[in-house]
Amino acid sequence: MAITRLKDLVTTFESKWTFGDSKFGYDGEVNESHNTQYPLLLINPPLSTMPELYSGREEYEFEINFYNLYPQSAQSAVTLQHRWDNLQDLAMEWFDMVLKAYQDNTVQVYLNDQSLEIERVKEVANDKLVQIKFTFTMSAFTKCFRPTSTYPSDITNLVTWLRADSGLTFNIPTKQISAWADQSGNSNNVAQVTSSKQALRYGYDGANDKARIEFNGTSDFFTSTTNLAITNHFTIFQVSKTDGTQGELMTYEDSGKSIKLGYSATSQLKASVSDSVTTISVDLAGSDASEYHIGTYKLHNKHLYVDYDTLGSSLSANVQESAYDHNATFNQTTYDIGSNSSIYLGGNIQEFIIYNAVLNDVEIANVKSYLNNKFKIY
């Protein structure tokens, strides 16, 4: 069942109005610039309710206004009733086209109560417009709340959860971030006290217009305030995008043991794990980290798995090194986000999630579903 958002409904409404201009806004904005092509469709921002949270349905109370000119010069030739009727005919044709657009039952949008209220108004705004107002309620499948939704915190062994939309301490004018608080409840925070090395916080403009943290590729990074909370096996998820250069997402190094996640010079996902003697390395051919993507990394025994998901592409790799010591631990020192001390990340991070465990396929699918529902990656 497809999720339908307000922007999807508005896009459909506007596409079916072919008789003049269309606008999403308020009544007072009608013909502000005096260059409107009438008849005009105006979609007022709706009030919406979710009468049953667990049903996933949202009911939008729409007020749609249709305007046309009725100047004094036309009033002697066309009655007000006739002008209203003509405008209503256009409005009805538009409404019929909208309803036809939602005949596909995979979209799950329908008119509530099969009812429509029509109001007629005259002498509107400075242009002395006639107006037909449609009021109706449409129901759409929009969001599944718990218990049907799964969040990263619903899965055991979550140790770190960094979100670009939560837990940030930053300077509002400069956007520079000094601290990024862990949302897992374990206080595995990261921070950067040096202003020249602080990444920038943007509350918009990432994947699906969500918040993002921008790294400059030359100096920006965070260091954890606690040791990395990984014993020996892990599952890690990230949503990010590189600017097309080689960069590091995460680096842990301790006496030769290491975990390194990043991008190659050709923007491919790469990952490596070392027990100080044997290294397992993956360079995921065909992946393109210059697009927003979900990256998944799993270390299980002597296997390192890397998955890449973006719009129109899903790739995976599994590399085994039989000599690797799967008892090697990674909890003896801190780690960095955005650097390995010589190579820096140029790009954006929106979410970074670490589990101190090997998640099963269902759990991995649930975390990916959470990330994709939020960021609309694919």
Q: What is the pLDDT of residues 79-125, one digit of tens each?
A: 999 999 999 999 999 999 999 988 876 667 888 877 899 999 998 87
Instruction: Please name the fold of domain 152-375.
Output: Jelly Rolls (2.60.120)
Give this prediction's pTM: 0.76
Instruction: Please name the fold of domain 6-141.
Output: STM4215-like (3.30.2000)
What percent of the chain stands above pLDDT 90?
Answer: 77
Residues 242-251: what's their mean pLDDT? 92
3-state class of 284 per DSSP? coil
3-state class of 28 per DSSP? helix
- Give CA angle at 15 (10, 21), nearest 5°: 90
- Give CA angle at 208 (239, 29), nearest 5°: 160
Strand pairing category for 22-24 and 40-43: parallel
In this prediction, residue 33 carries a pLDDT of 63
Select, from the ranges 36-40, 54-58, 105-109, 304-308, the one with the highest average predicted confidence (pLDDT): 304-308
DSSP sequence for 344-376: B-EEEEEEEEEESS---HHHHHHHHHHHHHHH-
- At residue 169 the predicted structure's pLDDT band, cuts being 50, 70 and 90, is very high
In this prediction, residue 332 carries a pLDDT of 95
Q: For residues 332 and 32, which has the higher predicted lDDT (pLDDT)?
A: 332
Q: What is the pLDDT of residues 173-190, one digit of tens each?
A: 999 999 999 999 999 999
259 neighbors 251 (Cβ within 8 angstroms): yes
3-state class of 167 per DSSP? coil
Burial category of 179 from C-beta neighbours within 10 Å (exposed 0-12, middle 13-18, buried 19 and up): middle
Handedness of CA 157, 160, 164, 170 (dihedral sign): positive
- At residue 2 the predicted structure's pLDDT band, cuts being 50, 70 and 90, is low
Residues 353-367: what's their mean pLDDT? 97
Query: For the chain, what is the mean pLDDT?
Result: 92
Domain boundaries, the chain: 6-141, 152-375
